[in-house]
Amino acid sequence: MEKISERFLRYVAVDTQSDPESESQPSAAKELNLLKMLKDELNAMGVEASIDEWGYVMGTIPSNCGKDVPAIGFIAHADTAPDAPGDNIKPQIIENYDGSDIALKGVEGLFLKVSEFPELAQYKGQTIITTDGTTLLGADDKAGIAEIMTAVEYIMEHPEFKHGEIKIGFTPDEEIGRGVVKFDVSRFGAKYAYTLDGGQIGELEYENFNAAGASIRIQGRNVHPGTAKGKMKNAMLIGMELNSLLPVEQRPEYTSGYEGFFHLISFKGEVETANLAYIIRDHDMELFEKKKETIRRCVDFINEKYGEGTALLDLKHQYYNMRKEVEPHYHIIEKAVKAMEMEGIKPKIQPIRGGTDGANLSFMGLPCPNIFAGGHNFHGKMEYVPLESMEKASKVILNIISLFAE
């Protein structure tokens, strides 16, 4: 069998960054490079797998347990986030980590510091894979892909391992909120599924944010600064004013747990025009709707002050909290808990401060909680993943399969 570390490093070497500005699916053609590779690898293992026109890879391993057990799916996304560079990745492999700060050698003076990321301490003595400080790593969610593929390889090479029907799914565009828009749940054929898209070891999640995206275009007026009095409308300054109207305490850096936020993810502009992009999140539906109303009121205020049409809001739904769709099938959570405990892992059941493909899939009729993939500091240059966490996640997959086949 290929080592999970080798498999992971092969996958992160493929640039699969999705493009939020694109209307196609996949949003970036380069995502297909990895998705087609995964389909071919599944086929080479002896798994019947295909890729459709939208980039969805689906594979099936037939049951060999002779029992009537539900088909179980395992899903991960192939794209990486557009928040940091995603190509030419140069991973650093720190074996037998000594517990000290880690130099990210691609940028002089940049360190992964224990004082800033104290969870590093729990991985002393393990092997840690980091970025070199110039790109993201791609553990979100290529760690999940590597874990699933490693479990699949084990199953195919060990016919004595008893299991029901297993479904494998890999998706594009999860990072831009369109991961399963065209996913055919009935064709996939699983009764229950799990995404391998969580963070540190032990995480188990069946609650996530309600989510919306807001794009605001500011129309200013540019005239020569020498004659600007009473005439100029600086779109950048108006955009900054609009942002200042939103509650400071509801920014991501000041929230945790079930607390929602407004997150300014992009601000581009000149005097004439400016564009702001936000993501809006809250676990509670009533508070979520209030947040959407707040941003509408901020836009209205700007238009009242500077003239109608100064600010144009485009507010779009992204996904809802999957708790109400998963909780009636709580036995799938209990099996995941037991599967972790079988590996000596203490489960951490908590809300996702984000979203996964599983959120939308749950509303599409496929209850789909989220399991840890092992990574930390997703979407940025400080991203890292402990090798041992990936190895444990792959074993948890096998344990879940065994528990359903009992």
Cβ contacts of residue 370 below 8 Å, gap of 6+?
194, 195, 196, 197, 198, 203, 204, 205, 206, 208, 352, 356, 358
Exactly one of 132, 153, 174, 391 is catalytic; which is it? 174
- CA 406/CA 402 separation, integer angstroms: 6
- CA 336/CA 333 separation, integer angstroms: 5
- CA 142/CA 77 separation, integer angstroms: 7
- CA neighbours within 13 Å on the CB side: how many for 133? 12
Q: Which element (helix H / strand E) includes 59? A: strand 57-61
Looking up tokens 């739904």 gives 317
Determine whether 79 is an active site residue: yes
- Whether residue 26 is preceded by a cis peptide bond, meaning omega within 30 degrees of 0, is yes
- CA 277/CA 393 separation, integer angstroms: 35
**Farthest CA pair distance, the chain:** 84
For residues 172, 314, 362, 45, the Cα torsion angle rounded to the nearest 10 degrees is 0
- Ranges of beta strands (E only) in 199-259 are 203-205, 210-219
Q: Tell me the angle at which helices 387-405 and 139-157 cross, rounded to the nearest 10 degrees.
A: 50
Q: Would strands 384-386 and 348-349 be described as parallel, antiparallel, or unpaired?
A: unpaired
* Cβ–Cβ under 8 Å, residues 161 and 151: no
Exactly one of 15, 19, 31, 79 is catalytic; which is it? 79
Q: Output the DSSP codes for 323-370.
A: HHHHGGGTHHHHHHHHHHHTTT---EE---SS--HHHHHHHTT----E
Q: How far is CA 325 from CA 77, 199, 306, 335, 366, in A?
A: 21, 22, 44, 17, 9
Catalytic residues: 79, 174
